[in-house]
């Protein structure tokens, strides 16, 4: 079986990556191989087309290949809350929480990921046209895939962009190099409160797989839950995975990033989250209706998502 992720050298989808690398899928009877497919829309298109069995990506992005949630379900959360960071160049002397720093600036963001930033800025009173904010893909990132956040940090360092909206690894690299300042971390309380439920890192699969192989879907959820529990018990296990998959510099950072993320390691998906994501998705123009909770989440597997 194949599980697609849109970014690998990152903390964003680490529970899914670690479930494969630390053997938790295997312990549940699943032979799961990771496949890197960037951007996230491409990962969901592969799911739709039967090329992969699961996607570990941003929840709202399922709509890239499954309009109105037709044919896909979220199985569980890899972590609660919108998990990207707004990082601006250190020379701008931005202060934490001051979104106005984006005015007149260029911000790098990946396709579909950028929707979270656009929603955040709109909720914060920023008008992209009026305030001359330019949001576009990070230069050189479309071919990077494996290290989007790190590529964003490099582009920031080279002043190809004024800031970026990307994962925690990219944010950490930029801060450690002294070229970036974290302005917004939605998970930890920055920005309007509703932005927390715009999206989350989830695991999704097709209605087709759920119908034909419900035991496989249930086993995948259990593997994620047990991976989260293992990392909570011993965050240093993240470094074990990092040393296998990451360049040395990023491998040194991953255990600390995962330690910070542990409070958000809860595999359940709430009705409050789905309502918030639906509102965000309609505002972003990628959803027309108001799908019910059980049209988005595979609710029959909820018992498996509890630690």
Specify the pLDDT at position 245. 93
**Count of the separate structural domains present in the chain:** 2
* End position of a domain, from candidates 145, 171, 196: 196
Residue 216 confidence (pLDDT) above 90: yes
Question: pLDDT tens digits for 20-73?
Answer: 999 999 999 999 999 999 999 999 999 999 999 999 999 999 999 999 999 999
Q: What is the CATH number of the domain that holds 168?
A: 3.40.190.10
Do residues 120 and 147 both lie within one domain?
A: yes
Question: pLDDT tens digits for 242-251?
Answer: 999 999 999 9
Residue with tokens 């989007």: 148
Do residues 62 and 143 both lie within one domain?
A: no
Chain mean pLDDT for the chain:
96
Do residues 74 and 205 both lie within one domain?
A: yes
Residue 297: which domain range? Answer: 2-81+199-305
Do residues 90 and 192 both lie within one domain?
A: yes
pLDDT band at 141 (very low <50, low <70, confident <90, very high): confident
Do residues 31 and 127 both lie within one domain?
A: no
Do residues 76 and 204 both lie within one domain?
A: yes
Do residues 61 and 209 both lie within one domain?
A: yes
Angle formed by the axes of helices 114-123 and 271-284, nearest 10°: 90
């Amino acid at each position: 079986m194949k599980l697609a992720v849109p970014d690998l050298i990152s903390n964003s989808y680490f529970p899914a990556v670690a479930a494969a690398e630390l053997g938790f899928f295997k312990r549940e009877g699943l032979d799961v191989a990771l496949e890197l497919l960037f951007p996230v829309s491409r990962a969901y298109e592969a799911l739709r087309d039967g090329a992969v069995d699961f996607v570990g990506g941003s929840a709202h992005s399922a709509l890239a290949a499954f309009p109105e949630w037709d044919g896909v379900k979220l199985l569980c959360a890899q972590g609660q809350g919108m998990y990207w960071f707004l990082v601006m160049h250190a020379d701008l002397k931005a202060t934490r929480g001051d979104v106005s720093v984006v005015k007149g600036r260029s911000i790098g963001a990946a396709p579909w990921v950028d929707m979270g930033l656009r929603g955040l800025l709109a909720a914060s009173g920023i008008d992209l046209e009026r305030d001359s904010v330019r949001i576009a893909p990070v230069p050189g990132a479309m071919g990077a895939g494996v290290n989007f956040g790190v590529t964003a940090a490099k582009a920031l360092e080279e002043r190809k962009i004024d800031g970026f909206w990307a994962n925690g690894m990219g944010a950490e690299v930029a801060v450690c190099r002294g070229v970036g300042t974290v302005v917004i971390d939605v998970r930890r309380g920055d920005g309007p409160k509703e932005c927390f439920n715009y999206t989350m890192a989830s695991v999704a699969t097709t209605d087709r797989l759920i119908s034909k192989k419900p035991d496989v879907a249930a086993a995948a959820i259990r593997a994620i839950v047990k991976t989260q529990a293992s990392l909570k018990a011993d965050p240093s296990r993240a470094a074990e995975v990092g040393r296998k998959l990451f360049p040395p510099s990023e491998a040194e950072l991953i255990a600390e990033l995962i330690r910070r993320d542990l409070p958000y390691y809860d595999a359940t998906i709430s009705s409050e989250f789905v309502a918030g994501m639906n509102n965000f998705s309609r505002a972003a123009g990628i959803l027309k209706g108001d799908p019910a909770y059980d049209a988005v989440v595979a609710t029959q597997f909820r018992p498996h998502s509890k630690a």
